[in-house]
Chain A
């Protein structure tokens, strides 16, 4: 699924003053390609990712995902669009602490009311299979608090792919992990992304990870300052 942003801008009010976090960003990510968004802290990376995913409304410009103009949708419609087509991985994992690993992975499917996938697989089996693919077959019944950071991020990865998303947004997916664990998570991310033929937009500080994306967009002070590569995998 193709990502298109035109003239994107976002202004927040901070301590009573307007703060331009993002200004006039144009970005197109072709379907089934990858892009890494890099830049120093405060350059607007996370805001850009959030606006692309429809997590907030831009102050200026518009975002289209697979030809669907997000501004034309209500907040609830955007949520349903995400449930159907979008996966998410966060730096701080953001698992629901009250649910087990398996239940966490099931959430996106359950939010759509999916108990059985189109190919006839049970939602539970799909979730268990995904957890097995990230190496957590024996941790299905564990709560987030009972898992290490790397394990939590692997559960988050499995959750992100549960609804067979067409686009995956990842915000610093290795930011909270040590080098070795981070590399393992990236391998998994790439493998899943490749198998599921997902469009990938990821925000990272990690230059190695950014290079593996095939296309690197650099932000500074809310603007794109460089864009290299085509993102083809």
Chain B
């Protein structure tokens, strides 16, 4: 049987190896992504404790209440170790360079981190002696302040020398760490600096390392209720590791889906090759049948051939995947919280291999089925038409197998069963629509192509419909690649624009916050000196929800039934504001806005306007009562209106707005926005504020933008890297299709040359054929990718969609160019061979 498969298939190796490569690309992407996921998981779990630096972290926006302190004390009494860390964003000035920047200043007390191996430069400086008075900083601090070790920093007004830089400190992932390089100072210094004023964005944290190595979770379970009751959030090392790996899983799942798409493309390619191959082999099959081969035997021989193509593709794919897996951590290095040591994941290798092999065979079964119905008579009469039997059981089984394969693969790649089904439906839908578009477009071209166009054009386009043509499969597979790349590019462009802070002319680019009421005028004046338009200040009123419609938030948080108010909304400290007007970035969707007239203090319950997503989270609407704790005083309010807020706009936006005349006297701080042109002007403002208003922080959005851009850049690189795979698989399939139909085109070229066509004419016909193929593929796919990216941006990201013509045009040009290049490269030699030699071979 194997010998029959080999002798029947060896001749096709040259023309079908390309399809194996398409499978290899897909398998490679899958193995790499799964292997990387395993690496990341393993590394994060191994370092779970050093990621937190402790077993437990409790955290809140204001000093810990006595109840939490008591828990820490009793844990320490049981043998645990505890430390407190207070973080506050603050301006820090380097006295030598006179440069001031906003950093995360952390007061540390008690020997945190307890786990992990922070290393310092100069080496050995960490851990410091308990009475050491010096600052440890992230290396970025030195760069941003243009400072050196030993320089003096001014934190508030307290001078402190830089002792060392520290690396491998337990780090926050992503945005926060990127915006705020950290300055670690002894807690005493932070207290002296007097940065912890009312309303500051401070975060108080208590870290605990248990004495009992085995059961930190059990220890904390005892105190969970007590901790939560005080509105304190907490996490354990294990949870944090889980969170981190979930975050990475999101990314790797996305990459996995792209890999899956590449595998499916490869499988479609193989099915396509098998289809062409079988059609060309029908006479051989008939001869074999004449010579006594059974249907089953012949069919099995061809299934083995398809399996061999899948096998070759999968083996090469596994090798490619392992190499890629080594490359991925380097690509993502700035995004990962831990060092990842790549290790071959045999699960990933096995899975990739199995998926490649199985998918190839499953998809090849359909086109192989006609082999069963070949009549031996065909060997005697070439024009003998095989009977087309009605759809039989095997055909149905084959279709079911293909559908189940798709479903199974999607379920493996998606986080949940339901999402897997949705993914399968989505992939199936995209392929279906692309297929439909390809069929419609090719038929339309055939039908409506102008009859008076020049011969070369007509022949080039007519070539798309040659017998055994692969126009639809190629348009589909190339189109799928275009769809993936096009959607990613379009979504990424839209997101980049949405995350572009203060990029537009005249919009604010400097944010000053933690301004006390008595500092407001001074800060505004300082900003006005360099700003191009008058700075705008907004009051910030910190408040906690204590009751909804009379039911206390403690009771509500204990309610775990579905539909109960969300805990985060009840627990968080809300930073609200008050004003009389509705802003451009807001839209009233329920109730009515208060009138401008001054409110009569004797009036009924004061009104608030709530943002819709918060109202949904709390399960409240217009007319419901919300009670707040404002600096120790309780205030009951009524929801008068609901607003939708465009959060993407860089502006001071709020979940809750009080009506004027209610909370003006409650303790609050101010935020000021200003537009300051020029890097040196912004640096000067930061220095002035650091010197004159030590507790006020200045955020230069250009710097934030830089940090954000670099973060987005990493994601973009990774996604593009994998998107290239889907695109490449499409191109490989095109190249494969060109190779498979090569003999046909060689024959046509020979005929044309015999009839008197010059090489240039034949070349032009071929070029038109491939350009048309590329154009057909890109048109439908671009249409579909526009719909997909519009849906993602509008519904998933809830942003305004903008179509980008330049990348779309580049994609059109690129794909046509690619199709042209691949086609002409695949056709080299078609032109060069003398017609006589081709015709002689055909006669043979």
Contact = CB atoms under 8 A, between A and B. Distances in A.
B599 interface: no
A97 B840 contact: no
A221 to B, nearest CB: 17
Contact of B835 (A50, A76, A80, A159): A50
B466 to A, nearest CB: 5
A31 B753 CA distance: 24
Interface string B819-844: 00000000000000011110110110
Given A50-B836, A55-B835, A91-B843, A111 B467 contact: no
B53 to A, nearest CB: 71
Nearest to B469: A98
A50 B467 contact: no
Interface stretch (A60-68, A82-90, A212-220): A82-90
Contacts of A103: 458, 462
B755 A108 contact: yes
A158 to B, nearest CB: 13
Q: Which bucket holds chain B's interface residue count? A: 20 to 34
Contact of B755 (A46, A51, A82, A97): A82
Contacts of A108: 755-756
Interface in A166-180: 171
A91 B844 CA distance: 12
Contact of A83 (B459, B755, B836): B755
A140 interface: no
Interface in A65-81: 75-76, 79-81
Contacts of A12: 837
B834 A96 contact: no
Nearest to A83: B756
A57 B458 CA distance: 31
Contacts of A163: 756
Given A55-B834, A98-B465, A111 B757 contact: yes
B384 to A, nearest CB: 13
A111 B843 contact: no
Contacts of A84: 756
A56 B752 contact: no
A76 B754 contact: no
B382 to A, nearest CB: 9
Nearest to A112: B756
Contacts of A86: 756
B298 to A, nearest CB: 26
Nearest to A172: B843
A191 interface: no
A56 B836 contact: yes
Interface residues of A, number: 39
Interface in A112-132: 112
B759 interface: yes
Contact of B839 (A90, A107, A111): A90
A98 B756 contact: no
Contacts of A47: 836, 840
Contact of A79 (B462, B758, B837): B758
B840 A92 contact: no
A97 B466 CA distance: 6
B751 A76 contact: no
Interface string B457-489: 011001101110000000000000000000000
Contacts, number: 91
A53 B754 contact: yes
A4 interface: no
A110 B366 CA distance: 42
A103 B459 CA distance: 10
B756 A111 contact: yes
Given A56-B834, A99-B459, A80 B839 contact: no
B835 A98 contact: no
Nearest to A163: B756
A184 interface: no
Nearest to A93: B751
Nearest to B468: A97
A137 interface: no
B834 A83 contact: no
Nearest to A108: B755
B581 interface: no
A103 B842 CA distance: 23
A107 to B, nearest CB: 6
Interface string B740-758: 0000000110011111111
B795 interface: no
A145 B747 CA distance: 16
A86 B834 CA distance: 17
Contacts of B463: 98
Interface in B767-803: none
A111 B747 CA distance: 17
Nearest to A149: B383
A88 B754 contact: yes
A82 B467 contact: no
Interface in B372-405: 383
A142 interface: no
B721 interface: no
B759 A75 contact: yes
B175 interface: no
B760 interface: yes
B459 A79 contact: no
A79 B836 contact: no
B223 interface: no
B472 to A, nearest CB: 15
Nearest to A98: B462
B201 interface: no
B359 to A, nearest CB: 33
B459 A98 contact: yes
A90 B748 CA distance: 13
Contacts of B834: 55-57, 75
A88 B836 contact: no
Given A80-B758, A82-B756, A111-B455, A96 B836 contact: no
9 contacts: A46-B836, A56-B836, A79-B759, A80-B756, A83-B755, A94-B754, A98-B459, A98-B463, A111-B757
Given A56-B837, A111-B455, 6 more contacts: A50-B836, A50-B839, A76-B758, A107-B755, A163-B756, A171-B839
Q: Nearest 7 A-B pairs (CB), nearest first?
A: A83-B756, A50-B836, A56-B836, A55-B836, A110-B455, A98-B462, A56-B834
